[in-house]
């Protein structure tokens, strides 16, 4: 291996080797110090907020830094400050259409606060342990998870002193902070209004088993239906994607012998799939012959071809809350866990007939 060429060990009072950041290795605070004829610690101070340094000295240092193309090494800094300014964002399926919106918000907000996002995506549930291993290695200051975490996994966060905020899910009995949207209320309103306008035969396309919000949406809907006297509502499984919606509707329709009147889908994309399946595969007019509703409020839901009736999540406010919870706990680790619960907004599109407000 080629020998590094930094002299080191010989402090400021050494021959001023005019040493530019040539090949590969970048300039260090040490190089800058040498060039500015000053101590290394003074250079360090120049790059800190309220450090005591005289204006003339700072100017000299900054000039030298510029000449050498010096940038402080955040890695080395975080080693000693014990702050990486890194947060982990763990997302299970970026293909969900909903999560990119969340990620974009989180990333923008974090960036504005000088925090960097280390992204971890899972293509399968089984990767989670491996991913967590990486999270620990990088000594992130905190983590946001929109992926399913077991209670034991959640515990490792506090054990490792890494604040964690769950997004769009929480674990009962676990003391993890969480931000999510309580859609039970919305689901109840939705169901009630569907019933009030005369829908009688319902079907549900559920989300994946590991989706917390999916379960909640379905459960709340079924519960309200039961309350209003509708039992044994058929539920088919889905995977949150368009094809699931298409497939789901086919299944429901064949099960219901075409008498289906309203379909509640655990997310928008499946609702869109269901609408398309109804109109194009089965020749069922939406909303005249079939009402379709979804959850999320993603972009495509509002496209003219769909104008989906859905319960929109306040993504931006939720992202803000998530980051704020996290940053609070990073600066004060002893803060107790907190849940921030939002309400969804009912978007009355034209994919379902609803009763009067």
Partner DNA sequence: TTGAAAGCGCTACCAC
Partner DNA sequence: GTGGTAGCGCTTTCAA
Asked if 71 interacts with its own copies (CB under 8 A), we say yes
Q: How far apart are CA 232 and CA 235, in angstroms?
A: 9
* Among positions 6, 7, 19, 118, the unique one binding its own copies when judged by CB under 8 A: 118
Give the binding range for its own copies (CB under 8 A) out of 120-128, 181-189, 218-226, 336-344: 120-128
Asked if 65 interacts with DNA (CB under 7 A), we say no
Task: Mark residue 262 as left, alpha or beta (left: phi above 0; alpha: psi -120 to 50; beta: remaining).
Answer: beta
Q: Which does 81 bind (CB under 5 to 8 A by kind): its own copies, DNA, none?
A: DNA
Asked if 51 interacts with its own copies (CB under 8 A), we say no
How many angstroms separate the Cα of 188 from the Cα of each of 74, 225, 228, 344, 346? 50, 8, 10, 12, 11
Beta carbon of residue 137, minimum distance to its own copies (angstroms, whole number): 4
The binding track of 270-309 with respect to its own copies, each residue x by CB under 8 A or -, is: --xx-xxx-xxx-----------------xx--xxxx---
Asked if 261 interacts with its own copies (CB under 8 A), we say no
* Among positions 43, 61, 68, 97, the unique one binding its own copies when judged by CB under 8 A: 97
Cβ atoms of 92 and 121 within 8 Å: the answer is yes
Cα dihedral across residues 326, 327, 331, 332: positive or negative: negative
Asked if 1 interacts with DNA (CB under 7 A), we say yes
Q: How far apart are CA 86 and CA 107, in angstroms?
A: 11
Q: How far apart are CA 232 and CA 27, in angstroms?
A: 70
Beta carbon of residue 7, minimum distance to its own copies (angstroms, whole number): 18
Max CA distance (Å), the chain = 91
Asked if 74 interacts with its own copies (CB under 8 A), we say yes
How many angstroms separate the Cα of 76 from the Cα of each of 29, 44, 64? 11, 12, 20
Residue 291: beta bridge partners?
262
Q: How far apart are CA 192 and CA 319, in angstroms?
A: 30
Give the binding range for its own copies (CB under 8 A) out of 191-199, 225-233, 268-276, 335-343: 268-276
Q: Which does 299 bind (CB under 5 to 8 A by kind): DNA, its own copies, none?
A: its own copies
Asked if 205 interacts with DNA (CB under 7 A), we say no
* Among positions 76, 104, 285, 341, the unique one binding DNA when judged by CB under 7 A: 76
DSSP E strands in the chain: the ranges are 86-91, 116-121, 142-146, 164-167, 177-182, 202-205, 235-236, 262-265, 291-296, 309-312, 339-343, 345-347
Beta carbon of residue 60, minimum distance to its own copies (angstroms, whole number): 21
Residues at the interface with DNA (CB under 7 A): 1, 4, 6, 8-9, 11-13, 25-26, 28-30, 38-42, 44-45, 47-48, 52-54, 56-57, 70, 72-73, 76-77, 79-82
């Amino acid at each position: 291996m080629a020998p590094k060429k930094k002299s080191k060990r010989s402090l400021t009072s050494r021959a001023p080797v005019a040493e530019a950041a040539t090949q590969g290795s970048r300039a260090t605070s040490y190089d800058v110090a040498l060039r500015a004829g000053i101590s290394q610690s003074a250079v360090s101070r120049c790059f800190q907020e309220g450090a005591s340094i005289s204006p003339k000295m700072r100017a000299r240092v900054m000039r030298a830094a510029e000449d050498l193309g010096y940038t402080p090494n955040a890695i080395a800094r975080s080693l000693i400050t014990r702050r990486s300014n890194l947060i982990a964002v763990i997302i299970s399926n970026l293909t969900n259409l909903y999560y990119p919106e969340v990620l974009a918000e989180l990333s923008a907000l974090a960036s504005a606060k000088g925090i960097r996002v280390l992204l971890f995506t899972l293509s399968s549930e089984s990767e989670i342990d491996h991913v967590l291993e990486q999270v620990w290695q990088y000594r992130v200051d905190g983590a946001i998870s929109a992926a399913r975490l077991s209670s034991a996994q959640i515990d490792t966060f506090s054990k490792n002193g890494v604040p964690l905020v769950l997004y769009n899910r929480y674990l009962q009995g676990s003391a993890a902070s969480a931000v999510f949207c309580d859609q039970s209320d919305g689901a109840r309103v939705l169901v009630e209004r569907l019933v009030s306008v005369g829908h009688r035969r319902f079907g549900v396309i559920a989300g994946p088993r590991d989706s917390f919000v999916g379960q909640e949406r379905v459960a709340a809907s079924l519960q309200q239906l039961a309350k209003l006297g509708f039992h044994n509502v058929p539920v088919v499984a889905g995977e949150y994607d368009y094809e699931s919606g298409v497939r789901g509707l086919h299944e429901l329709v064949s099960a219901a012998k075409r008498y289906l009147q309203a379909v509640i889908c655990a997310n928008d994309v499946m609702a869109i799939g269901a609408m398309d399946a109804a109109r194009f595969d089965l020749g069922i007019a939406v909303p005249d012959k079939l009402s379709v509703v979804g959850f999320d409020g993603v972009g495509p839901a509002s496209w003219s071809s769909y104008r989906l009736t859905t319960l929109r999540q306040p993504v931006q406010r939720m992202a803000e809350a998530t980051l704020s919870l996290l940053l609070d706990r990073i600066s004060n680790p002893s803060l107790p866990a907190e849940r921030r619960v939002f309400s969804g907004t009912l978007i009355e599109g034209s994919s379902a007939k609803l009763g009067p407000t």
